Each structure stands twice: as C-alpha cells, then as structure tokens.
Chains A and B, each alone.
Chain A
C-alpha cells in the first residue's frame, strides 16, 4: 500500500445549509457514513469537484463533532461556484487535514479568549469556538466580536444566537457595516467596535477576516495594550499540494499550507510582507 498523501478520499454531502446570499455550509461524511478523518481547530482540507478543481478550505466544524465535517464556503471563484451548485448525496473528494492548528491545548488553556471575525472569516474560528465550548471549564471568559457587511452576511447566525449567546461566561458582540432595516444591533466596522468595547488586554486574541480588517483591528488591539505574541491569525494563499511542495504558498521560510495557516502575529513580523 502506497501512502496516500496527494490522493483524496471520497466524501458525500449529507446536508447543505444556505448561510448568506453567497455562503453555504456543506456537511460531509465518508462513503461509510463516518467522519473522514480527525483534525484540530484551524486545520484545513483540500476539497474538490473532479474536473473542476481542488481548493483549500478551513474545516469549520469542531473536532469534537465526531459524526461529520462541515465546510462554510463563499462563492467567489470557478470552483466555489460549482460547489455551490452541489446537492445532498453528491460525492466530492476531500484530503487532509493540512496545516498547523490553533494551539488550543498549549497556548489557549486557562486563558480568557477574544475571537474577532469578519465575514467568512468566521469559518476557521467557529471550529475553535465550538472546541472551547465543548471543553468549557478549561478556558476562561470568552468574548466574540463578529462583523459582516449586512445582517444577511452574518454566517451561522442561528448557532450564534441560539447557542453561543446563551453560553455561560461568554459575551457575543455583533456588528454590521451599514444601518439596515430590521437590525437594531451595533453598526460600524469591526476595528472601531473592538476599540469601543473596553476589552481586557490580558486576553489571548484570535483574528480572522479580510486583510484590511486584520490590519486595523490588530493596530487597535495593540493600542489598548494587547500583547502581540498572544494574538493569532490565519493566512490564506494559493495552494495546490497542501504538503509544502508545490511552492505557491511560500512566504519567506514558511509555507502557509504546512507551517500555517495559523500564525502568531510576532511570527508574521519576521516574514516578508507578501501575503
């Protein structure tokens, strides 16, 4: 038997949920009805529709879910457009898990945690948030700040409102970019909102979202006194192999697929600014 590495497994879509006008969440199991493989929060997998292409996606479901995996996928290119057209029962291919995960056992344990996400950036964070909820007593206070363009663009809003908001010792703050009918929550960009919240700078923070949001949010956090070595984010670059060989996700001496996608902000400082 030759090692599998670049050869994928076959996955079956068992549920498709429309989250926003351009984001759908796909539930996937193996052909035997079981979960395809184990992973840790923040890790990714290569999903493909044969004949169309293969893309790297963050596994949005928590490792503690032992029945299936979920991928929240935004329609933005050739492959994702086809994925969005797939129905329940359709087989796809999946390989992974790839990359380094959030160090939930080492760096996060016992800490107060701040999760900041923008738009589809919630996908990798949902995995770690639900992991933390599962082992709730291992972690301190949890603060979640999540923003999107409009209320319709908030991914997983049902889970957020029905579960996360009712979790003990957990605060959830939602915001949208512009005022909108039917929305009585906060309006404004994530970086500004974060500064208004009077957050405790001793928290360990995880940021995920568009590069511009990360840039300004990070600046804001540092202003309030957050320690850069305790701020984490995930990077996204073009990937093909997922195992540090095809070369395209190379930044400095790192490959995002293998050495990332999770990076400590201080690690990013050492890398050339080209991601």
Chain B
C-alpha cells in the first residue's frame, strides 16, 4: 500500500493530468458533479453522492451517434465513432473518487452495454477509463449499499483509495491500476495498512447502524415476478409520483435512452439521450401505448431494478443502494419505500 499526504493531492492530480484526462467530483454553482479537473477547481472528494452519477462519463446524457448528409435522393452516413475512438486512444482518462456504490453501478451498466451486440459508443469510453475508487468513511442515512452486498469500506476498481484526515492511501488492483501507479509512484511513500484497517472497522460500525441496513430483498426473485407485478399496493405507492425523470436521471444504473434526429444546416445529426420510463411518451406508439398510467410507469421502473434485470443477469439487482433517489425525489417516493412495502425489513 502507498500513501500521499492530503495537502499534496493537488500534485497528484496535476501529475495524472499531464498525460491523461481527469474527471472527479468538483463543485460548480453549488453542486458537486463529475467534471474535468483543473488547477483551482473546487474538488470535493468527501461528497458521497454527486448529483449526477459517474455513468455520465461512459453514457453521456446526450451524444451524437452519426451524421447523415443528404443530396437529392442520396444519403451518406458519417460514423462519428472513428473520431471518438481516436480521441479516447489519444487521451485515456481517469475517474477519480468513485464510491463503492457507483463502481458497482458501472458493473451493472457493463452487463447491458457490453453484452452482445456490444454498444460501441459505451465500449470506447469504458476501455479508455481507469477507475480510482474511494472508500466511504462517513456514510449517511440514505445509504444502503450493504443490502446489495457492496462493501463501502473497500470498493473495487482499478485502484482503491482511502482518505483520512492526513493521507490518501492507494492500492492498485488491476493492470490499468498498476500502470497508473507507475505514472504517479514518485509522489507516494509506502505504508498505511494499519490506518486503513482502522478506518474500515470504524466505517463498518456505522454501516451496521444505518437505518436501511436491514432491508429484506428475499422476495424480489424471478419466481415472484407476476405476484409482485400484480400487487395491489403499486397504486398507493405511486399516487404522489409526478412523472418527472429525477429518479432515473440521478440513478447510477438507469440506462434507458432515446434515439432522435436533429436537422442542422450541415445535415441530420442522429443523437441519443437519456430517457425515462417515468415519462408518458416513453412507450408511446403511433397506434397506442403499453403504459398509459403513471402507476404502470412507476411499477416498470422498480420491477426492472428489483426483478426484471436480476432475472436476466443471474440475480444481480440493478439498484446499488446509493440513495440518490431517496434524497432527490421531489415528492419523497423512492426505492426504499417500495422495498419495504413489498419486501419488508429483515428484523420485522
């Protein structure tokens, strides 16, 4: 294990930034999100939950997919991925300070976007990224990652780091991580095992006391799919839902998107953008809609996270307990309320 004094972190960032892109939690206009690092930026590693999750780095909220040039009856397709791939190869990037829940969320997304047939847009960015995770030391009431088997004190990733009052501790886990370590090694000194163990134990003690630590997921299994779907309580659970997309857009695992065309002076741009199953036009077709009520849309979102996705992915839930929806739903609806209503608490 390596360590670097907290006050020298800027040197570390600058060193990485010499050859690679560096994205990390940075405060801008009062809110912390993943932004490109630069000298003078207000880094906020301690922020547990950036408003937008780091999924934005691989799956941008809006991205151009291709261009069409039309002339008379003819069409020419311009594949923008060549450029994207060249840029990624030219300047790979580091995502610094990713929390355990958000890292797990990237694994959830990988299973969607990297499954055959591969989503090459996602893949290009994903391959270019080295992920440096940061262990949590001060989890908050809306955190429930442990319910999904995630250890907030020892996140995975290419490099795992821990931060205490004095040092940042650094441990490479993968080849990408080793390569990054080589790049910055001279800034580090050896040691920190004991401090990290102490921090882990302290954080564990808090994690166990968190109010949502005992959510019971045992009912959310493929065999209960129809029973859960038909539960009469979806109506009351969803009644206050505004049908906005806040929960889906702040969610680190929500991956639904729309593909649309935009006419410009230089031709047509086909882009994709985040979409939300909470929106009334999500499933709208010219001759009908399979989800006509907000209850159906609400149910779709939570059934997908807790039952449909796990059915397709060996039981892996597509919720990581980050708690963003708990904090951000305008009307205070969230997945915890759904889990408690349908699944309950282990101690109850």
Write the nearest CB–CB distance from A10 to chain B, whole angstroms: 6
Q: Is the CB of B296 closer than 8 A to any CB of chain A?
A: yes
Contact with A along B43-54 (1 / 0, CB 8 A): 000000000000
Docked pose: A236 CA to B290 CA in angstroms: 10
Q: Is A5 an interface residue (CB 8 A)?
A: yes
Which chain A residues border B79 with CB–CB below 8 Å? 2, 7
Q: Is the CB of A241 within 8 A of B268?
A: no
Contacts of A80 in B (CB 8 A): 286
Q: Which residues of A contact B30 (CB under 8 A)?
A: none
Does A246 lie within 8 Å of B256, measured CB to CB?
yes
**Residues in B whose Cβ lies below 8 Å from that of A246:** 256-259, 272, 275
- A270 in the interface (beta carbon within 8 A): yes
On whether the beta carbons of B66 and A7 are closer than 8 Å, the reply is yes
Q: How many residues of A contact B (CB 8 A)?
A: 42
Contact between A275 and B120, CB atoms less than 8 A apart:
no
Total interface residues on B, CB under 8 Å, equals: 56
Q: Are B120 and A237 in contact (CB under 8 A)?
A: no
A52:B225 contact, CB within 8 angstroms:
no
Alpha-carbon distance between A8 and B67 when the two chains are bound, in angstroms: 11
Q: How far is the CB of A223 from chain B (nearest CB, A)?
A: 24
- CB contacts (< 8 Å) of A51 on chain B: these are 68, 70, 261, 263, 268
Q: Are B284 and A53 in contact (CB under 8 A)?
A: no
Q: Which residues on B sit within 8 Å (CB–CB) of A275?
A: 290
Q: Does B311 contact A (CB under 8 A)?
A: yes
Kindly identify which residue among B73, B74, B256 contacts A248, using a CB–CB cutoff of 8 Å.
B256
Q: Given known contacts A78-B286, A237-B283, A253-B222, is B308 in contact with A243 (CB within 8 Å)?
A: no
Specify which chain B residues have a CB less than 8 angstroms from the CB of A266 in the assembled complex.
Answer: none
Residue A197 at the chain B interface, CB threshold 8 Å = no
User: CB distance B257 to A77 under 8 Å?
Assistant: no
The verdict on A50 contacting B261 (CB below 8 Å), with A272-B229, A274-B291 known, is yes
A93: Cβ under 8 A from any B Cβ: yes
Complex contact B119–A5 (CB within 8 A): yes
CB within 8 Å for A2 and B82 given contacts A50-B270, A51-B68: yes
Contact between B285 and A77 (Cβ–Cβ < 8 Å)?
A: yes
Question: Which listed residue (B77, B81, B255, B290) contacts A274, Cβ 8 A?
Answer: B290
CB within 8 A of B75: which of A7, A10, A76, A270?
A: A10
- The answer to whether A250 and B117 touch across the interface, beta carbons within 8 angstroms, is no
Query: How far, in whole Å, are A48 and B66 apart by their CA atoms in the complex?
Result: 13
A92 within 8 A of B: yes
Beta-carbon contact of B255 and A92 below 8 Å: no
Contact with A along B248-291 (1 / 0, CB 8 A): 00000001111111010001101010010100001111110011
B220-260 residues at the A interface, CB under 8 angstroms:
222, 225-226, 229-230, 255-260
Contacts of B308 in A (CB 8 A): 250, 252-253
Verify B120–A247 contact, CB threshold 8 A: no
Does B170 belong to the interface (CB within 8 Å)? no
Residues of chain B within 8 A (CB-CB) of A48 are 261
Question: Which residues on B sit within 8 Å (CB–CB) of A34?
Answer: none
Question: Known contacts A52-B261, A248-B256; is A10 also within 8 Å of B77 by CB?
Answer: yes
Q: Identify B73's interface contact among A7, A90, A237, CB under 8 A.
A: A90
Q: Tell me, in angstroms, the Cα distance from A52 to B303 when the chains sit together.
A: 33
Query: Beta-carbon contacts of B182-206 to A below 8 Å, as 1s and 0s?
Result: 0000000000000000000000000
Cα of A159 to Cα of B229 in the assembled complex, Å: 44
B300–A250 CB distance below 8 A: yes
Q: How far is the CB of A6 from chain B (nearest CB, A)?
A: 6
The answer on a CB contact under 8 Å between B287 and A5 is: no
Interface flags for A221-252 (1: CB within 8 Å of B; 0: not) read 00000000000000011101101111110111
Contacts of B300 in A (CB 8 A): 250, 274
Closest to B277 in A: A247
A–B pairs, 13, beta carbons within 8 Å? A6-B65, A7-B77, A51-B68, A91-B73, A91-B74, A93-B75, A245-B112, A246-B272, A248-B277, A248-B283, A250-B308, A272-B229, A272-B303
The 4 closest A-B pairs by CB, nearest first: A77-B286, A247-B256, A253-B311, A50-B68
